[in-house]
């Protein structure tokens, strides 16, 4: 070691960067105006200050430590640092006598956040703000590339010695700095040459396999290029909790750092649901060498702590696991993180920090300095003749998604939870800090608790999630049945029109009498409670007759879709053991051949039966219907709902939708879709008129909306958007529009639907987004869409609102613990309206309908991912079994669709994951262009190239679809929802249809440079820098060569924001055009030709 340092003394004032500095240099190139890596010490000075003496002290410190006089530049495309022999301290003294405390705080923050120019310098500065002779604020700021926390404390210690000596005009002797920072750079390079391969073997094994990307729930979509804007929240643990943690660590043979790291990892596990987690942790490996203890510089590098929490161990066991991980990692801490990234080559994306997105660290400041860091303004510290007190400024950097830096103070543990403000709100981070403290308290109370049982929530939060946001108790007739409620309405309005279908009209009396005849006949042939009866009719007035007739008879209504394949019909008939099918005479031949008895309401045999209401002796818990839904095994499964649940739901909907006898309600859904019951029965109980519609074209729908004077319409979102497109700029609807309620449901509703609604005459109607699985009796939650919707908050889909009356809704993690506000979990539904279970599927019923862990009854596990928003509204996030993961990245398809819909040429879109013939998965986007959905101008023409270039600056690289398919319309299911299985496969031509050659001379130059740097034969104009394996070092090489050709300076961030050949070439061309010369001079032409 001494020999190495001796050699280093001959090095000139220009020398390479350490690997830790290289990482910071490339980050600086991404955003030179960012203050993300400004490090600061700030304090109040509560005593007189000799300003000239203080300035002189800082000048001596600058002269003494070469790192503070360093600037950074490129030589032959390689960054180097230059030490300046003489430099004047950047010292600013501001008189703040008229400033308020808030203005002082703001001005200090502004001074702190001023970016550094690393190429010109200086790289540190001092500010003194004077309010009175006895009240000052001292701020020292330096770029992290030249300093770390230990260096800061070293400078402050030297200031404490120098200031009183200079004040007294006496000499102060400080030991010379034996080893400047360049000695460390030399040592690090030599260490890597001798020990690097052995260290690499460990890290390669430790980080083998798929590397998890931590997917924390965020308040906003992640930007395509990560920003470094940040803020922080103070975390201060009570003294007794701090002592408890110290005792726990001691008993476990661990350190406080290990204990807090383990707890933080548990917090991330509970927030993300991931059990394989990577956390970064700063370590000053060079400080382990005694030679460098007095050296000012950046000795910090990041270590990667990989933790697996599978198996849900007790915390005490997990702490031992963490202890071993930390020990093994510290033994290999010399291996530079920058080199690790270069050799490991993990998937890169400019929206994420590589390898880890969250960091944890712990410092032990000098005991006398600790009070100045804990934001306790009442405590004073004597420091070289100056009386100091803390000044709260808060960290402003967002280097990672989250960074928890804890400090071991004299009495308590405290720290700062820094966060990226592009992703998180302050309230979210405050809750997270609170949950961390709750977790620590539970760990200290009982370290034998398993990880999933450790409580995160306060009692107040738990009460809010489980009770206050379920205030749905309401009184309804619980023993009533649909037939009874309908007959009461018939008695009130017998001559009112109940059902309309084309030219057919049925009054309430007509409908009741014909349903009664069918019910008498069914009872006569043996239909009684719990006996399934199939119902197979096309859209007609007989729909209401058959439905009510079966319910009046006491049978179990089982709808059979006329559009269903024969195989599905046969399966349902056999699985439900259906012996009787109600159908129309002309449809009998369409049924599968079997022993089933057929009854036709329009036949002469039924017409002979009496028209009075049949007698019934049926309990409310008897089955009302079985509706078959798609099953994960490929076979449909029958959901059983009893009379109590159905009648209760219909009364709730009648109230929630304010249905009256004046309403004309569209019956749109197919009968084998449970919402058809909601479109039929609640209106009939209210005396309204049910208008039976069909899958009309959007233009036909617009006409029928007026002709039938519809007041309530319930549509699937995909079909509704088409209807809204057709209703734009239709002036006749302004005067002749009776619609008062528009409901969407059946699938996730995109936010763009709202903007289309607001552009039509239908905007006067109330818009609801309804959500509910068949297993919870049709609709469970409803969201009243406001006229002004925060699209950033609602993201891709509309929220699904709050539970209906007497429903219970819980969002729970994998271990049935309530998920904190904002944290995704599985949606569980309980209370009134829960289905009995699945027909003939007891095992599935038992696994899906579980005991309510918070009270009486059962809960239905929906399989839907959701989270609570701060106001108690529920946000739907997708299906748990449809989670998309490509190349380690979790993807929300709805987020991609939401951005695509913002393109002026896109009327609607669907994004899916498709498997290529090679077995690899890729994203495919299906587009309906604006001109295909509407005849309105302007007419936009979109191409795959246009859409790809539109998305690239707005989405992370991995979220840009590989294929785009332009369609005239989406294939729809009989229910009016998009049939994703019927979407055509993207066309391929040739071995690599995605390759598109460069079009312009500049694109050719960029493509050639990329091909050389990446070692490829050719690169297409849409190839992505990160998809090819790009990283910061390669970005520097590419931009340096481009800069030489076009004689311009290009920051690294340019490539991170323009990640394809075409996008980067367009940027270069735009800069070139803005200069006061011809776009390309002859020399540049020759350079391009050479490339």
Kindly report the CATH number assigned to the domain that includes residue 894.
3.30.300.30
Residue 127 within a domain: yes
**CATH number for the domain including 1072?**
1.10.1200.10
The Cα–Cα gap between 762 and 759 comes to 8
Confidence (pLDDT) at 795: 65
Mean pLDDT value across residues 841-865: 94
* 1025 plus 909 within the same structural domain: no
Residue 965 within a domain: yes
Residue 152 within a domain: yes
Using omega within 30 degrees of 0 as the cis cutoff, is the peptide bond preceding 122 cis?
yes
- Decide which of 156, 179, 202 is a domain's last residue: 179
Pairing state between β 230-236 and 124-132: unpaired
The Cα–Cα gap between 658 and 745 comes to 18
* 1009 plus 1073 within the same structural domain: yes
What percentage of the chain exceeds 90 in pLDDT? 57
State the CB neighbour count (10 A cutoff) for residue 426. Answer: 13
* 901 plus 1010 within the same structural domain: no
* 1039 plus 969 within the same structural domain: no
Identify the helix (H) or strand (E) that includes residue 1013: helix 1001-1014
Residue 320 within a domain: no
Q: Check whether 37 has a pLDDT greater than 80.
A: yes
- Closest of 587, 497, 579 to residue 544, by C-alpha: 497
* 66 plus 117 within the same structural domain: yes
> Model confidence at 860, in pLDDT bands (50, 70, 90)?
very high
Instruction: Tell me the pLDDT tens digit for each residue of 527-558.
Output: 999 999 999 999 999 999 999 999 999 999 99
Q: Check whether 961 has a pLDDT greater than 60.
A: yes
- Closest of 54, 49, 60 to residue 96, by C-alpha: 49
Instruction: Tell me the pLDDT tens digit for each residue of 82-137.
Output: 999 889 999 999 999 999 989 999 999 999 999 999 999 999 999 999 999 999 99
The CA dihedral of 699, 701, 703, 708, to the nearest 10 degrees, is 170
Weakest mean pLDDT among 207-216, 650-659, 926-935: 926-935
The Cα–Cα gap between 304 and 513 comes to 76
Residue 785 within a domain: no
* 890 plus 1036 within the same structural domain: no
* 923 plus 1018 within the same structural domain: no
- Decide which of 150, 179, 208 is a domain's last residue: 179
- Closest of 513, 490, 538 to residue 607, by C-alpha: 513
- Closest of 600, 648, 587 to residue 621, by C-alpha: 648
* 958 plus 896 within the same structural domain: yes
This prediction has a pTM of 0.82
**CATH number for the domain including 116?**
3.30.559.10
* 12 plus 107 within the same structural domain: yes
* 961 plus 1069 within the same structural domain: no
Confidence (pLDDT) at 9: 41
3-state secondary structure of 12: coil
Instruction: Tell me the pLDDT tens digit for each residue of 1020-1074.
Output: 888 878 777 676 667 777 887 888 888 887 777 787 778 889 888 888 888 766 6
Identify the helix (H) or strand (E) that includes residue 158: helix 149-167
* 895 plus 1042 within the same structural domain: no
Identify the helix (H) or strand (E) that includes residue 794: helix 791-794
Residue 196 within a domain: no
* 933 plus 1013 within the same structural domain: no
For residue 171, which phi and psi values (nearest 5 degrees)?
-85, 150
3-state secondary structure of 126: strand
> Model confidence at 6, in pLDDT bands (50, 70, 90)?
very low
Q: Which residues partner with 704 through β-bridges? A: none
- Decide which of 149, 179, 209 is a domain's last residue: 179
The Cα–Cα gap between 766 and 752 comes to 16
Residue 94 within a domain: yes
Residue 140 within a domain: yes
Residues spanned by the domain of 1033? 1001-1090
Tally of domains in the chain: 3
The Cα–Cα gap between 930 and 901 comes to 10
3-state secondary structure of 198: helix
Q: Is 1055 exposed, middle or buried (0-12, 13-18, 19+ CB in 10 A)?
A: buried
């Amino acid at each position: 070691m001494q020999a190495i340092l001796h050699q280093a003394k001959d090095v000139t004032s220009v020398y390479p960067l350490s690997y830790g500095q290289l990482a910071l240099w490339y980050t600086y190139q991404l955003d030179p105006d960012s203050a993300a890596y400004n490090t600061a010490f700030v304090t109040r000075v509560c005593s007189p200050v000799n300003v000239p003496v203080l300035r002189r002290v800082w000048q001596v410190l600058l002269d003494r430590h070469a790192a503070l006089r360093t600037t950074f530049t490129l030589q032959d495309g390689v960054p180097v640092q230059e030490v300046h022999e003489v430099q004047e301290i950047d010292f600013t003294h501001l008189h703040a006598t008229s400033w308020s405390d808030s203005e002082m705080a703001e001005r200090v923050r502004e001074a702190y956040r001023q970016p550094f120019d690393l190429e010109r310098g200086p790289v540190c500065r001092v500010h003194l703000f004077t309010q009175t002779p006895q009240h000052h604020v001292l701020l020292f700021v330096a770029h992290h590339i030249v300093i770390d926390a230990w260096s800061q404390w070293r400078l402050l210690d030297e200031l404490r010695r120098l200031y009183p000596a200079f004040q007294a005009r006496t000499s102060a002797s400080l030991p010379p700095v034996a080893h400047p920072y360049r000695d460390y750079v030399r040592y690090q390079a030599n260490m890597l040459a001798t020990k690097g391969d052995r260290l690499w073997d460990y890290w390669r094994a430790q980080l083998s396999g798929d590397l998890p990307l931590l997917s924390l729930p965020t308040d906003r979509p992640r930007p395509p290029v990560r920003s470094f804007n940040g803020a922080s929240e103070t975390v201060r643990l009570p003294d007794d909790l701090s002592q408890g943690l110290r005792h726990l660590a001691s008993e476990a043979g661990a350190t406080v750092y290990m204990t807090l790291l383990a707890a933080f990892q548990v917090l991330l596990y509970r927030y993300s649901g991931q059990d394989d987690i990577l956390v970064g942790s700063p370590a000053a490996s060079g400080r382990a060498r005694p030679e460098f203890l007095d050296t000012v510089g950046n000795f910090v590098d990041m270590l990667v702590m990989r933790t697996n929490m599978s198996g849900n161990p007790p915390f005490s066991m997990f702490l031992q696991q963490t202890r071993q991980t930390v020990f093994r990692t510290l033994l290999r801490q010399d291996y530079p993180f920058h080199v690790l990234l270069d050799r490991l080559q993990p998937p890169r994306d400019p929206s994420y920090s590589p390898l880890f997105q969250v960091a944890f660290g712990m410092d032990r400041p000098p005991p006398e300095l600790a009070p100045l860091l804990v934001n306790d303004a009442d405590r004073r510290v004597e420091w070289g003749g100056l009386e100091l007190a803390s000044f709260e400024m808060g960290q402003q950097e967002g280097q990672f998604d989250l960074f928890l830096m804890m400090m071991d103070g004299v009495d308590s543990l405290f720290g700062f939870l820094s966060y990226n403000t592009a992703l998180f709100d302050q309230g979210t981070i405050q809750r997270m800090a609170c949950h961390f403290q709750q977790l620590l308290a539970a760990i200290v109370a009982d370290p034998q608790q398993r990880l999933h049982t450790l409580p995160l929530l306060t009692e107040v939060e738990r009460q809010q999630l489980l009770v206050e946001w379920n205030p749905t108790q309401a009184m309804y007739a619980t023993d009533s049945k649909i037939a009874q409620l309908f007959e009461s309405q018939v008695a009130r309005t017998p001559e009112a029109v109940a059902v309309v279908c084309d030219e057919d009209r049925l009054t309430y009396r007509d409908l009741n009498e014909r349903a009664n005849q069918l019910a008498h006949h069914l009872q006569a042939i043996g239909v009684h409670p719990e006996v399934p009866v199939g119902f197979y009719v096309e859209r007609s007035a007989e729909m209401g007759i058959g439905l009510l007739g079966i319910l009046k008879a006491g049978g179990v209504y089982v709808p059979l879709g006329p559009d269903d394949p024969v195989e599905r019909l046969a399966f349902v008939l056999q699985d439900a053991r259906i012996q009787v099918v109600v159908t129309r005479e002309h449809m009998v031949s369409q049924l599968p051949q079997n022993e089933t008895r057929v009854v036709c309401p329009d036949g002469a045999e039924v017409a002979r039966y009496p028209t009075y209401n049949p007698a019934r002796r049926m309990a409310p818990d008897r089955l009302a219907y079985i509706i078959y839904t798609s099953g994960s095994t490929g076979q449909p499964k029958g959901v059983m709902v009893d009379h109590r649940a159905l009648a209760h739901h219909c009364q709730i909907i009648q109230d929630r939708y304010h249905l009256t006898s004046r309403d004309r309600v569209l019956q749109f859904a197919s009968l084998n879709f449970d919402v058809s019951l909601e479109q039929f029965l609640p209106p009939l109980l209210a005396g309204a008129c049910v208008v039976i519609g069909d899958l009309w074209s959007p233009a036909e729908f617009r006409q029928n909306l007026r002709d039938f004077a519809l007041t309530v319409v319930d549509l699937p979102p995909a079909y509704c958007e088409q209807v809204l497109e057709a209703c734009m700029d239709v002036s006749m609807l302004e005067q002749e529009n009776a619609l008062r309620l528009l409901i969407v449901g059946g699938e996730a509703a995109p936010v763009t639907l709202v903007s289309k609604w607001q552009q039509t005459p239908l905007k006067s109607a109330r818009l609801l987004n309804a959500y509910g699985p068949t297993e919870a009796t049709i609709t469970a939650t409803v969201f009243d869409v406001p006229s002004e919707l925060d699209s950033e908050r609602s993201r891709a889909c509309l929220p699904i609102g709050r539970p209906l009356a007497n429903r219970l809704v819980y969002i729970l993690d994998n271990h049935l613990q309530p998920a904190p506000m904002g944290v995704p979990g599985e949606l569980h539904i309980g209370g009134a309206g829960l289905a009995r279970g699945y027909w003939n599927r007891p095992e599935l019923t038992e696994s899906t309908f579980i005991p309510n862990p918070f009270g009486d009854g059962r809960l239905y596990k929906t399989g839907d991912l959701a989270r609570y928003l701060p106001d108690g509204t529920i946000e739907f996030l997708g299906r748990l079994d449809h989670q998309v993961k490509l190349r380690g990245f979790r993807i929300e398809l709805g987020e991609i669709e939401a951005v695509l819909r913002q393109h002026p040429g896109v009327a609607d879109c669907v994004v899916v994951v498709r498997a290529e013939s090679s077995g690899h998965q890729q994203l495919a986007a299906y587009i309906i262009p604006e001109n295909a959905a509407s005849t309105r101008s302007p007419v936009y023409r979109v191409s795959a190239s246009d859409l790809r270039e539109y998305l690239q600056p707005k989405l992370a690289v991995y979220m840009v679809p590989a294929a785009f398919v332009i369609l005239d319309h989406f294939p729809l299911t009989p229910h009016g929802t998009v049939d994703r299985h019927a979407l055509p496969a993207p066309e391929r031509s040739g071995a690599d249809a995605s390759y598109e050659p460069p079009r312009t001379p500049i694109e050719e130059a960029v493509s050639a440079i990329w091909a050389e740097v990446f070692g490829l034969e050719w690169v297409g104009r849409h190839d992505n820098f990160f998809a090819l394996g790009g990283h910061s070092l390669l970005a520097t090489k590419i931009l340096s060569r481009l800069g030489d050709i076009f004689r311009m300076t290009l920051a690294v961030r340019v490539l991170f924001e323009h990640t394809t050949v075409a996008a980067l070439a367009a940027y270069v061309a735009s800069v070139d055009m803005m200069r006061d010369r011809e776009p390309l001079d002859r020399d540049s032409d020759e350079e391009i030709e050479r490339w």
